[in-house]
Structure 1
């Protein structure tokens, strides 16, 4: 480095807002040592403008810098990345490295995975791989980084076709790439990693799956091995218990047991079929939102499933979303299944003239949309090709932004609180791929931030996570076992009104452009339904339950009375178990079917013209007046209580 270079200084911004001046070629680790020698020696990685990077990464002027140590939340991710390398090293020790080809091995929120080509393993092989990983950890290899030229990397990777394909993406501005070596094994990788394999805590391999290279079904199918790593055995055990609980609640298994939905090969992937029980739950969810919409002054509209792509060019979806759309030709015209409902709603608004007195205009639609996810990413109801959004689009004057956004937020919180869901909010800002000027985006983001600040809501900033047409407020909520889910959203849009030439006549008799708001109270019915199945483990609240009450006659002699009792609950979803079976088996069946309440009737109940009531908690009360129980059910349903509580008072 020349004397002039050494004198060049840049400034990075630390988490407390202060600036640290360093030399222009400084790394994350150099900055840590500038702050203090203890922090420098403890540095495992860094975050530059929110992105996790290796401690050897160069900083730049104005970067927001955070040092990652073993006390940081991100440290676990660094350690898991190193664990994925140990997995790949173990595979190449136990299997023919001439045959097996390495793909990628990133950390994830819950662990890590590594993809391999030409690897023939099954679940029985995981224990042996785990033992080999334990050996690698115990050997405490130093994990060393080396930066090399593209040419040198090509030489090292001449037998690794997938790594060669990644080379250009790993290159820095000097056309160099990094390798990480541990013992006899090395891998092309940007990092970050811990200093040695001995710093990796406990590793557990979880499952084997298939995955297309780069998620493209036109590419080869590879073997993906999932694993996780924690600093302690107790943390791992806690994770495995949570995982076991999540598997018990898997909506695909419960959906099959309760006959809620199916996804069949004959109908196509990612295209769910809702059975009567599942549609019952969905209809209740729809009715709930439709009542909220009516109370808030929304008008329902309907748009077709397919439009000419002229519409998608105009809206901007074609240039930003075409890869995720189903597009086909009809004669000389090109059409596309709609991935979103908003352009259709904009077209409806455009079809007539409006005055400032008419606004706000609020449209709602339970609109089916289609998005071409990769087949390997499809999973139950969580990721599908066809799904329904409880969509709402508002066309408003700029002076109505705050009141309308606040009302939408009130509707969203009412939905989430109805299901007793804890939630957090985030402001998602302009993504890299977007439409509209910086000025428009800054205006939209500041409006949403003003609403959040005015209501004193705590919220996070999610840089670059906005929709391509505008920023948004996202709600995330936790389910019964602490998992976080993305849910409702409210999005401000200054771009689509401009693209569709939407206008209204203002008080000054001039043409003005309205602001468009996109909002959904659930997000999508499919994903929200999936979450509810797992959140309640299929034990839905009374108002949602496909079957709300089951009447159990003790013997065939009581069958007539059982049907008369069932008729007293007209308006509820009531079934009579008239099978030739013992009462104990009927009770067990109703419990397994997750019915909120059971009514038991025998000779004593028939003689006294009353009932016995049993709930899903296996509590039971005798000599219950029919009218009293019906009154309770009506109140429990109307108030949308989350648990059956007739016997819990």
Structure 2
């Protein structure tokens, strides 16, 4: 690379090439420098992971990707513009409403308003107005103004003035976007005109605190979504309707799996049925931990704050208001937000040699984080969670092998559930601790591990943990939604901060590397994902009730009890209710029981059973030993579908 002047900017492109500019350069100029066609198609840019407007000036060396209408980020740009269309429509409907914020989201967009009392009838009118604004095809024009002019324009908008003060403090340019009579303080990016929004729909109204602060004003939030084509919107609505049917909170209540009562906000109560499912997941994880060479430990949830000040967690969690902490007896105590500092203590408890490594600890560790009440959602977003946690303390030469083995096991585990795995390499965030050299070593080690295993992955710039980069294991469920569940994180920083070491062959002390990993992640969250993925229709090994015996008459009760006892190693119930057989069968299907065993006079006489599965297939004259042998095989193999009748097992 040529010697650069002080103001030179080097832009690194996705295919690995670099382009050098003599001075700060707008994203769109980079696109034109690559090619005139790309420049003409440039809608936005991704600069070091941030989605920015084409006019954004790159002032220092950066990783840059150009966004065009064919890019996956384009829909976020379109949805951001749809949020402005929503605000414009609301102001036409309610001119005195005050604007707060309106960002795009993974599924759509929202806008927050003060002084906007809205109901379903209003929403229908606002959506119709939005369609008119789209049809009017207003140009969306960016304008950069001075702070003084911005203050004049926003004089009667208190929420926007607060945002303007933050822009001033950060030294960023002040930009407005205008479409027709509407303008909004916004850094963009946006599409060129409202007519590019091909299809939109408003979804719901909710309350939201200003900036998520429970002490702040309660605003009205309107959610919506938008796509380039009507067919994409129709597909989204179908998926949304299916997701509502699969809502883990609804199914969890119907199947009596869990509850989150008001007296324990964000903390899950597991009912007996839910504990049956959870125990199966725990044993599944324990088996995999044993395969990977982990020793199970248990560490306390309550610790003095000094522990986390050393590790760096205190600064990250406490000062962000995410740690539950209090003063007592002259000391500050807190509920642990993570398990790693406690595991580092266990490592340090004995003097370690290079021969002891890798040393691996696993724990179903209960952790707590003070999530905002508005962000809580059943089992998927909680305050108290059980992390299926593990920490491997390894020598530098063991890092890649350890990561490869861990990823292989995680991929095998997710295949058991029928979840497709997507890997993301999350790099150094803004709040990182530790020096750049350690971070680069960690980045290189993760990249090399992924490359050596020939694994496909995406890079998520700036989304790593504060102590190290990580590989996020995302899983796609039965209806195409993506969930971040497991993680593998590489940490050169905490061993240094906590002062842990091992004695190497040279008789000198060296720092181990910590590999933080969660196979399934939070058990609460994974259970929530599982409930929705299977829609409550769990495979045999996970089903809270695996077999239900249905006696046809009271005279068959004694034989029904014998059948239940014969398969009693499984979770089996006898339906003793004074119901017709048809009603009992319907109840079994509604309760998602994998197998129903029907016994009547013929079965009593022959000593056999009739087996019915959740797909309403039935087979009679089945010998009990054959049925039990099949159950054992289906359970051990963790097959996802009951297949007794497919195999036609008889004796």
* Distance in 1, Cα, partners of 2:51 & 2:355: 50
Contact 1:143 1:194 survives alignment (8 Å): yes
Given that 2:49 and 2:460 are in contact with CA atoms closer than 8 Å, whether structure 1 keeps it comes out as no
SS at match of 1:648: helix
What residue is the counterpart of 1:271 in the other structure?
267
Mapped pair 1:220 → 2:223: no
CA contact (8 A) 2:111 2:221 kept: yes
The residue that corresponds to 1:366 in the other structure is 364
Partner of 2:493: 495
Instruction: Assess, with a 3 A threshold, how the Cα gap between structure 1 residues 41 and 120 changes in structure 2: closer, same or farther.
Output: same
Q: Distance in 2 between matches of 1:61 and 1:396?
A: 36
Match of 1:158 in 2: 155
Q: Which stretch of structure 1 is more off in the superposition, 529-538 or 87-96? A: 87-96
Deviation at 1:11, TM superposition (A): 5.6
Distance (Å, rounded) in 2 between the aligned partners of 1:312 and 1:172:
31
Which deviations, in whole Å up to 9, do the C-alpha atoms of 1:470-508 show, x marking residues without a partner? 222221111111111112111122222222221222223
**1:561/1:374 Cα in 2 relative to 1: closer, same or farther (>3 Å)?**
same
**CA distance in structure 2 between the partners assigned to 1:540 and 1:552 by the alignment:** 20
CA gap of 1:381–1:193, structure 2 versus 1, over 3 A, is same
- Residues 88 and 356 of structure 1: CA distance in aligned 2, closer, same or farther (over 3 Å): same
Residue number in structure 2 paired with 1:526: 524
Residue equivalent to 1:83: 82
Aligned partner of 1:318 among 294, 314, 317 = 314
Q: Which runs of 4+ in 1 moved over 6 A?
A: none
Contact 2:553 2:600 survives alignment (8 Å) = yes
Alignment check: 8 A CA contact 1:563 1:576 kept? yes
CA distance change for structure 1 residues 495 and 17 in 2, over 3 Å: closer, same or farther? Answer: closer
Shift of 1:172: 9.3
Structure 2 residue aligned with 1:556, among 554, 557, 564?
Answer: 554
1:143 matched to 2:108? The reply is: no
Deviations 1:19-71 (A, max 9, x none): 55667465333444455554444332233333221122223454444333323
- SS of the equivalent of 1:357 reads helix
Does 2:566 match 1:568?
yes
> In 2 relative to 1, CA 558–233 (structure 1 residues): closer, same or farther, beyond 3 Å?
same
Distance change (3 Å), C-alpha of 1:619 and 1:35:
same
* Distance (whole Å) between structure 1 residues aligned to residue 400 and residue 26 of structure 2: 44
Alignment partners' CA distance in 2, 1:11 and 1:320: 32
Residue 343 of structure 1, aligned match among 341, 344, 353:
341
Matched, 1:69 2:65: no
CA distance in 2, matches of 1:185, 1:307: 53
Q: Is 1:14–1:66's contact at 8 Å kept on the other side of the alignment? A: yes
Paired residues of 1:476 and 1:486 also in contact (CA < 8 A): yes
Shift of 1:584: 0.7
The answer to whether structure 1 residue 260 and structure 2 residue 257 are counterparts is: yes
Equivalent pair of 2:547/2:572 in contact (CA under 8 Å) = yes
Q: TM-score, length-normalised on structure 1?
A: 0.95
Aligned mates of 1:111, 1:56 — CA distance in 2: 24
CA distance in 1, matches of 2:353, 2:593: 52
Distance 2:496 2:30 in 1: 46
Distance 1:546 1:355, change over 3 A: same
Match of 2:467 in 1: 469
Match of 1:521, SS state, is strand
Cα distance in 2 for residues equivalent to 1:283 and 1:127:
47
Equivalent residue, structure 2, for 1:429 = 427
In 2, Cα distance between the equivalents of 1:352 and 1:10?
50
Farther off after superposition, 324-333 or 394-403: 394-403
Contact 2:45 2:52 in 1 (8 A): yes
1:15 CA drift (Å): 4.3
Displacement of 1:427 in angstroms is 2.1
Structure 2 residue aligned with 1:56:
55
Which residue is equivalent to 1:4?
A: none
Match of 1:191 among 180, 188, 195: 188
Change (3 A) 1:71 1:505: closer
1:12 touches 1:60 (CA, 8 Å); kept in 2? Answer: no
**CA 56–511 in structure 1, closer or farther in 2 if over 3 Å, else same:** closer
Partners of 1:553 and 1:160 in 2: CA distance: 70
The one of 445, 448, 458 equivalent to 2:446 is 448
Q: Is the 8 A contact 2:48 2:461 kept in 1?
A: no
Output the CA distance in 2 between the equivalents of 1:53 and 1:385: 33
Cα deviation code 1:55-99 (max 9, x no counterpart): 2222345444433332332222111111111111111111132xx
1:392-431 aligned at under 5 Å gives the runs 392-431=390-429
263, 280, 295: which one pairs with 1:284?
280
Q: CA RMSD in A?
A: 1.9
Indicate conservation of the 8 Å contact 2:364/2:387, yes or no: yes
Count, aligned residues: 639
Kept in 2, the 8 Å contact 1:80–1:107? The answer is yes
**Matches of 2:323 and 2:173 in 1, distance apart?**
37
TM score, norm. by length of structure 2: 0.95
Q: CA deviation at 1:187?
A: 0.7
Alignment-derived partner of residue 243 in structure 2: 246
Does the 8 Å contact 2:424/2:457 carry over to 1? yes
Runs of at least 5 residues in structure 1 that lack an aligned partner in the other structure: 1-7
**Structure 1 CA distance for aligned equivalents of residues 417 and 173 of structure 2:** 52
Distance 2:436 2:8 in 1: 30
Q: 1:295, CA displacement in angstroms? A: 3.2
Residue range with higher mean Cα deviation, 356-365 or 155-164:
356-365
In structure 2, stretches of 5+ residues that fail to align are 1-6
Answer yes or no: is the 8 Å Cα contact 2:49–2:462 preserved in 1: no
